[in-house]
Amino acid sequence: MTEEMIGRLNEQMTLEFSSGYLYLGFAARLESLALPGAAHWYRVQAEEELRHGMRLFEYLIRLSAEPMPGPVPAPRDIPEDFAGIADAGLRHERFITASIEGILFYAIGENDLQTQQFLQWFIGEQVEEEANARGIIDALNRADGCKAGLMLLDEKMGGREG
């Protein structure tokens, strides 16, 4: 594995940890909006993102490369409402997808078959992540400002298991 690949994987690991912090910021805002179910959903999502970072950490160790997480800044510019949070979540997941795809394309160019195989899990995971984010947006659009619809969505999101 090249030093460039190690650097890219370390950067992705840091992005995954940063994603966890972003989703914790979303959860905090949703708590302040009295949406505990949606807040729970994003807390579970934060934990999942931290596991993604750890998956990269462990992969680097297995290949005798040194994991070196970078600084994780506090989340900033958290949207003020649920719809804004849902939209920001989808934009973020698309950003993460593009980042992973960039590493995969680099691995293909380097003929790094191990990393190509490893990253396939992340590619499949990102399909699910983006679909979940779109599903929240679609549900909010169906609720169309209806308080009862929003309450049902919040309740449903609160049932997410980790």
Would you say residue 162 has pLDDT above 90? no
Per-residue model confidence (pLDDT) at position 137: 97
**Rounded CA separation 150/144 (Å):** 9
Report angle CA 60, 99, 28 to the nearest 5 degrees.
90
Confidence of residue 120 (pLDDT cuts 50, 70, 90): very high
Domains, the chain, ranges and CATH?
Answer: 3-72+79-158 (1.20.1260.10)
Whether pTM > 0.75 for this model: the answer is: yes
Would you say residue 16 has pLDDT above 90? yes
Torsional class of 160: left (φ above 0), alpha (ψ -120 to 50), beta (otherwise): beta
Average pLDDT value for the chain: 97
**Rounded CA separation 14/36 (Å):** 28
Per-residue model confidence (pLDDT) at position 66: 95
